[in-house]
Amino acid sequence: MTALLPRALRPGDTVMLVSPSGPTRPERVARGIELLTGWGLRPLLAPNAYARQGYFAGADALRAADLNAAFADPEVRGVLCTRGGYGAQRIVDDIDMAAVRRDPKVVAGFSDITALQLALWRGARLATVHGPGAAWLDERTPPGSAESLRSALMATDPIVVKRVETEETAPVTVPGTATGPLIGGNLSLIVSTVGTPDFPDLRGAILLVEDVSEAPYKVDRMLTHLRRAGALDGVAGVAVGQFTDCADGWPVTVSDVLAERLGDLGVPVLGGLPIGHGTGQLTVPVGTLATIDADAGVLTVSPGVT
């Protein structure tokens, strides 16, 4: 499971802003461009970054073309997704994996972009970056979130994320330590890859899960599906991020579900990590070696760039 690491971004590098999933908001992207420019990067909008077709950022062919153009262009050193939404799964089979392997670039995003990241892991063993999209919202991703993303994109230091006791998932913890490649992201998208070539082999891995707007019973259904499919057999540990706006009228919380469905796997589980759709979202590489120390409440991830 050795990862292919792209070069860290440097001041002066061109980064392509792409929309592989849902349509984005130009005013939020403008704020993201301001942020990236302040880091010395040269953001460039993909031709179809602002396209719209229903709940997609343009037709499948256009979204795939933007990705492949970015992967093929030697001047582009980073591919930053504007947002998630829905649609990445519809185009991942059209990605030019030979181009990805030939010239690995930093790829960053989260939410629906998990589908893209899992495809790149399957097709190229490319380590990617699970972090905020370029359609920036300061209210949700304050300066600490920005610095976390900048560090993951432009520095080669290990990433350290500490449990936040006020996060809803903080009680979802099973003592112990575990080390393995950090694999995963958005739970809904992980489950949606079951039965496809993109579903990762989680044996020996640290599984990262987070989600948004999923009722507890739906989270239960997804985790139960993974268990029944044998997908969690041999997993080394679980890193639990933010489960944002995941409540309904039943007297069962999403943390109750996570604790019950993950607590008997016989592996360390670390909850309360500010990774996901919540306020203060932090950035981590996926595909690189990580260690969870549930007793200390710390996730340490090897850099996703070299």
Catalytic annotation, pick one of 19, 111, 192, 255: 111
- On whether the CB atoms of residues 46 and 79 are closer than 8 A, the answer is no
**Over 166-213, what HEC string results?**
CCCCCCCCECCEEEEEEEEEEHHHHHHCCCCCCCCCCCCCEEEEEEEC
Main-chain dihedrals φ then ψ at residue 87, nearest 5 degrees: 140, -20
**Active-site residue flag, 167:** no
Which residues does 250 contact at the CB level (< 8 Å), separation at least 6? 215, 216, 217
Which candidate, 214, 180, 184, places its Cα nearest to that of 114?
A: 184
Query: Which one-letter amino acid corresponds to residue 78?
Result: G
DSSP class per residue in 136-173: --TTTS-HHHHHHHHHHHH--SPEEEE--TTSTTTT--
**Active-site residue flag, 192:** no
Compute the Cα dihedral for 57, 61, 67, 70 and give only its sign. negative
Classified as helix, coil or strand, 222 is helix
Catalytic annotation, pick one of 167, 168, 210, 214: 210
Q: Which helix (H) or strand (E) holds 129?
A: strand 128-130
Catalytic annotation, pick one of 19, 21, 188, 277: 277
CA–CA separation, 128 and 130 (whole Å): 7
Classified as helix, coil or strand, 25 is coil
Which residues does 128 contact at the CB level (< 8 Å), separation at least 6? 106, 107, 108, 109, 116, 117, 120, 121, 285, 286, 287, 304
**Active-site residue flag, 210:** yes
Residues annotated as part of the active site: 111, 210, 277
